[in-house]
Structures are given as C-alpha cells and as structure tokens.
Amino acid sequence: MLAEQNLTGIELLGPVPAPMERRAGRYRAQLLLQATARAPLHRLLASWLLVLEQMPSGRAVRWSLDVDPVDLY
C-alpha cells in the first residue's frame, strides 16, 4: 500500500483542500510532497502512479501530477 512506501527525505503535506476547492462541479484537494532530492521523489511518484491506476476508484477519480508547480491552482 502507499503508506508502506519509504518516505525518507520526503515530507508529505496533506491532503489539504485546493485553493479553489470546488471547480466545474468537482471537489478538489492537494497532496503536496517536498523532497530533499529529486531522484527519491521521482521513484516514489512512479510507484504511486502504478498503484493509483490499479485502485478500484482509480477510474472514478481524476489524478493530476505537477512537479515543481508555479502556482497551486
């Protein structure tokens, strides 16, 4: 499961409501990750994406990944 992943050097912030919590009739939230190095973060995200796609709710939820976002909208 995702919670069992090694998060050494990675700080997990959230989930928190998005700045625009509801948009186009859909609720939005953010899961923010901050890492001391890029490589472990990219490995973690790659494994998370595989798990998210296989979850029963994976097709019902729209996932968006933004590395180094300029803004949080």
Tell me the pLDDT tens digit for each residue of 11-59: 888 888 888 888 888 888 888 888 888 888 888 888 888 888 888 876 6
Give the separation between CA 72 and CA 18, rounded to whole angstroms: 8
Strands (E), the chain: 10-23, 26-35
Residue-level pLDDT at 1: 45
- Domain segments of the chain: what residues? 2-55
Q: How confident is the model at residue 60 (pLDDT cuts 50, 70, 90)?
A: confident
Contacts of 48 (CB under 8 A, 6+ apart): 2, 5
**Per-residue pLDDT at 6 exceeds 70:** no
Helices (H) and strands (E) in the chain, counts: 1, 2
What pLDDT does 71 receive?
65
